[in-house]
Amino acid sequence: LLLLLLAPWGPRVSGEPRSARRRWPVPYRRFDFRPKTDPYCQARYTFCPTGSAIPLMKEEDVIEVYRLQAPVWEFKYGDLLGHLKIMHDAVGFKSSLTGKNYTMEWYELFQLGNCTFPHLRPGMDAPFWCNQGAACFYEGIDDAHWKANGTLVLVTTISGTMFNEMAQWVKYDNETGIYYETWTVQASPDKKSTVWFDSYECSKFILRTYQKLADLGAVFKKIQTNYTSIILFSGEPIYLGNETSIFGPQGNKTLAAAIRDFYNPFKPHQSVREFFVDLFKIIDRVILNHQFYLFYNLEYWFLPMKSPYLKIIYEEVPLPVGSKASFGV
């Protein structure tokens, strides 16, 4: 299990200074270590149940690298979410020396809903977030899972040395990039529009991994590669503050109440009637009143929403070109 070490204290931010606040997109912050998870946060499906440590490959090994993609929750709903182009990405490896296959992916510890919206717990003023994401590495590639409704295709080959260097980078990336960010937020659907915030999810991990391999010398095949993004459309975001400045003893009670009120309809629902009542509330606030409160880098932002408000896209992102001497196909 590639969660590495879960530290017993909260993380210290290693991020941008406040003077850089208006630089867009807001840089994703990295942290010094991963905080211990709260027992309140529970996942319906166990994170990385068969995970293992990344093996040390022999330098002379030649390792095939595969692009893996399948609809989100394909194991339960088949191709249902694939029709909406809501896809999950991973990367596979095959050792020529041992013949063993491996899968590496990055996903939420407590499922997507908990990473996207908080819990409003009794007796707690601030929204409570169950949000962490991490890398998972395990032996084997489930061919049926990836081939049935998705993709399993060779994209490059690398040496054992390159694999081992990538493994060290994965350790760093996993220890410092600990929070899942669902939303990409941008000014308009135009491809050249300003991006206010970038997402940090499974596909971004795969893209970072590919880029690292390219920088190490891997040469990728010229094939089309598409990835899913969930985009919110907003005017320029307004910075509101962090948990202490908003919900603390000297906080802004009016703003605190507004944020809690906004997140309330996104709670888990016990009945169909509750769901539709809250759905109308969400439509009223996001579309009719152009409001959205975003939690990013442990800070709150107000998004003045605008049409088309939300869009799921499945766009091409080319495989990378590296900077070192090449190795591979």
Residue 112 CB neighbours (<10 A): 17
Q: Which of 115, 130, 136, 202 is flagged as catalytic?
A: 202
Structure tokens at 122: 């009794």
Structure tokens at 146: 């990836």
Structure tokens at 47: 């994170």
Rounded Cα–Cα distance for residues 87 and 84 (Å): 9
Whether the upstream peptide bond of residue 308 has omega within 30° of 0, thus cis, is yes
Rounded Cα–Cα distance for residues 264 and 276 (Å): 13
Give yes or no: 115 in active site: no
Rg, Å, the chain Cα set: 21
Give yes or no: 145 in active site: no
Closest to 175 in 3D by CA, of 231, 135, 230: 135
Look at residue 146 and give its three-state secondary structure.
helix
Rounded Cα–Cα distance for residues 31 and 250 (Å): 26
Q: Which of 41, 83, 88, 290 is flagged as catalytic?
A: 88
Closest to 296 in 3D by CA, of 239, 253, 258: 239
Catalytic residues: 88, 202
